[in-house]
Chain A
């Protein structure tokens, strides 16, 4: 029994509860938030150091026997995601200290952030399909609070679309859970994976896979289910947009990986061409959608969609190597995308607007900010030696080795379009002359620069010392694709069915 797996769930939960109780003392609230996030980060790092050697770690809630109770499972992918969620939340919390107004702080902004972290960590760790649905709802309700907190007209309109389309996605997920229970008679992921191999009726499995592809695809904002994202992400404060870009769509990607890599692995072969097609369309349409936009955060929002295409491409390659490459890329893009949102948000704060036409002159006024932005867009486009280069290189290598030339070409071509689109922001915000005297613009505050800069430096470091990241994710991809090892870790060497039969007898 490894009950320490509950730490990343319990720590933000207690932190959020105490922060609500003590919400009048803002110093205490901030300290509680930081402590909870740091505990998660430390635990996530420790988990990442243990899991590659030990295989998946498992904890059974309340000590219930595996297929009957709810299992928590941490394999390589879960550990990576738990760590990244905490790391990104840490930068968001620091950025929020300097950017979020007192009014929002008084109305439970930090507890909502912690609840978001709670939901995300729970979703990454659970080994039960219905429990995954519940964690999805936890993180959704926290995100609903965050996106509408403040109540301006824009936020309410964007929030309404965000809420309605995410509820539709969740309902589809619940629909899939119900069908899965009717079909497999269990909701434990290991048990489902085991039974899927023996159950007849492949047609129903294909339907199930389609339902899950729709449900998680609408969370991950793949084409054609992405419309909620660009119409809502630019409305809340920058810190909220940034953490959403880092976590929300990636939970959808994680669930796609988990469901298709573990539960419905047989269906992956059938769906792979379609997933690859969707991946290509998502890359291209996302990046083209950004062309018409003239607002920093709206352009970046469309780029979230485009980058999701690369993550989904890893799934479409339908092999352990493809999943590993997708994981490397997803880890990279979570970091860099958030950095760009932080830096773009800081530029917005200096200029007082996110409208590209009204901004300008920041390369002269804030050379450091400009430098980190430039490194960030180089990394996003995939220029060596930054982390984006490694992420894309491995994806393309796997694509070529599996003779998926078309998607590989599309992925490479989209990089150029991405860079072009990012240069637009560079030209308008940093390079061109300001309409007003740049010396009158306010200086960037350290707390607004530091989180983005730290993430960019991390991206540079991951590019220069890519070996450990790639090695780790190769193991994580293999663990994700290795059904037998997962089942053994959760239910023991005889498998879940044996435990089930023994208990029912």
Chain B
């Protein structure tokens, strides 16, 4: 399972890097979304609580309840998903407005603030 997840995370990171290096703003944003998914999956694989002494949930015998997963990583991912959702909405709106203002979604055309 962990190997499958590792391959999935690697593919997401690779695809995200490729998309972020493209010149189109829309592809750049898609790359950012993929990157945040990759990181979320990575946190998911870090939830092997048993290895480190168990999640902070124990039954009367002091052992993690059978079949329970580490709840903390899920809370972390949930937080990260909400945050990246908000930011994605913001970046999309920003890209739309900058496309309106500059008349282009090619990053090479969006360089007026760097010119001397």
Whether A156 and B32, one on each chain, are in contact in the complex, defined by CB atoms closer than 8 angstroms, is no
- The interface residues of chain B lying within 8 Å CB-to-CB of A234 are 113
A187 to B75, CA, bound (A): 13
A456-505 with Cβ < 8 A to chain B: 500, 503-505
Our count of residue pairs bridging A and B at CB distance below 8 angstroms stands at: 108
A186 to B79, CA, bound (A): 17
12 examples of A-B residue contacts, CB within 8 angstroms: A153-B112, A154-B112, A154-B113, A160-B95, A171-B35, A175-B39, A178-B42, A178-B43, A178-B73, A179-B42, A182-B45, A231-B113
Whether B113 and A151, one on each chain, are in contact in the complex, defined by CB atoms closer than 8 angstroms, is no
Contact flag A294-B114 (CB < 8 Å), given A141-B86, A160-B95, A164-B91? no
Contact flag A153-B102 (CB < 8 Å), given A185-B49, A231-B114? yes
* B56 interface residue (CB < 8 Å to A): yes
A232 to B43, CA, bound (A): 32
* B67 interface residue (CB < 8 Å to A): no
Q: How many residues of A contact B (CB 8 A)?
A: 43
- The interface residues of chain A lying within 8 Å CB-to-CB of B110 are 157, 160-161
Partner of A167, one of B32, B46, B47, B73: B32
Contact flag A181-B87 (CB < 8 Å), given A174-B43, A232-B113? no
| Least distance between B56 CB and chain A CB atoms (Å) | 6
CB-based nearest B residue for A176: B39
* A130 interface residue (CB < 8 Å to B): yes
- The interface residues of chain B lying within 8 Å CB-to-CB of A137 are 83, 87
* B76 interface residue (CB < 8 Å to A): yes
A111-170 with Cβ < 8 A to chain B: 130, 134, 137, 141, 144, 148, 151-154, 156-161, 163-164, 167-168
B49-92 with Cβ < 8 A to chain A: 49, 52-54, 56, 58, 62, 72-73, 76, 79-80, 83, 86-87, 90-91
Whether A148 and B39, one on each chain, are in contact in the complex, defined by CB atoms closer than 8 angstroms, is no
* B3 interface residue (CB < 8 Å to A): no
- The interface residues of chain A lying within 8 Å CB-to-CB of B52 are 185
| Least distance between A486 CB and chain B CB atoms (Å) | 22
A230 to B102, CA, bound (A): 20
| Least distance between A288 CB and chain B CB atoms (Å) | 14
Whether A182 and B46, one on each chain, are in contact in the complex, defined by CB atoms closer than 8 angstroms, is yes
* A328 interface residue (CB < 8 Å to B): no
Q: How many residues of B contact A (CB 8 A)?
A: 42
CB-based nearest B residue for A182: B46
| Least distance between B7 CB and chain A CB atoms (Å) | 17
Interface string of A178-207 (1 = CB under 8 A from B): 110110010100000000000000000000
A38 to B19, CA, bound (A): 46
* B28 interface residue (CB < 8 Å to A): yes
Contact flag A159-B87 (CB < 8 Å), given A154-B112, A185-B52? no
* B98 interface residue (CB < 8 Å to A): yes
Whether B91 and A151, one on each chain, are in contact in the complex, defined by CB atoms closer than 8 angstroms, is no
Contact flag A130-B86 (CB < 8 Å), given A158-B113, A178-B39, A504-B54? no
* A292 interface residue (CB < 8 Å to B): yes
A500 to B101, CA, bound (A): 55
| Least distance between B39 CB and chain A CB atoms (Å) | 5
Whether B72 and A163, one on each chain, are in contact in the complex, defined by CB atoms closer than 8 angstroms, is no
- The interface residues of chain B lying within 8 Å CB-to-CB of A153 are 98, 101-102, 112
CB-based nearest B residue for A166: B87
A292 to B36, CA, bound (A): 37
CB-based nearest B residue for A232: B113
Which secondary structure dominates chain A's binding surface? helix
- The interface residues of chain B lying within 8 Å CB-to-CB of A148 are 94, 97
CB-based nearest A residue for B44: A178
Interface string of A285-320 (1 = CB under 8 A from B): 000000011100000000000000000000000000
A148 to B80, CA, bound (A): 23
| Least distance between B98 CB and chain A CB atoms (Å) | 4
- The interface residues of chain A lying within 8 Å CB-to-CB of B102 are 153, 156-157
Among all A-B residue pairs, the 9 with the closest Cβ atoms: A182-B46, A185-B52, A178-B43, A156-B98, A153-B101, A158-B113, A157-B110, A231-B114, A231-B113
* A78 interface residue (CB < 8 Å to B): no
- The interface residues of chain A lying within 8 Å CB-to-CB of B39 are 171, 174-175, 178
Contact flag A134-B83 (CB < 8 Å), given A153-B112, A158-B113? yes
- The interface residues of chain A lying within 8 Å CB-to-CB of B101 are 151-153, 156-157
Whether A181 and B72, one on each chain, are in contact in the complex, defined by CB atoms closer than 8 angstroms, is yes
- The interface residues of chain A lying within 8 Å CB-to-CB of B90 are 141, 144, 163
A159 to B112, CA, bound (A): 12
- The interface residues of chain B lying within 8 Å CB-to-CB of A144 are 90, 94
A104 to B42, CA, bound (A): 40
- The interface residues of chain A lying within 8 Å CB-to-CB of B95 are 160
* B116 interface residue (CB < 8 Å to A): yes
Whether B43 and A294, one on each chain, are in contact in the complex, defined by CB atoms closer than 8 angstroms, is no
Whether A164 and B32, one on each chain, are in contact in the complex, defined by CB atoms closer than 8 angstroms, is yes
Whether B97 and A163, one on each chain, are in contact in the complex, defined by CB atoms closer than 8 angstroms, is no
Not counting A148-B94, A178-B42, a sample of 17 additional A-B residue pairs whose C-beta atoms are within 8 angstroms of each other reads A141-B87, A156-B102, A157-B102, A157-B112, A157-B113, A158-B113, A164-B91, A174-B36, A174-B43, A177-B76, A179-B42, A181-B76, A182-B47, A185-B49, A185-B53, A503-B56, A505-B62
| Least distance between B10 CB and chain A CB atoms (Å) | 13
CB-based nearest A residue for B58: A504
| Least distance between B46 CB and chain A CB atoms (Å) | 3
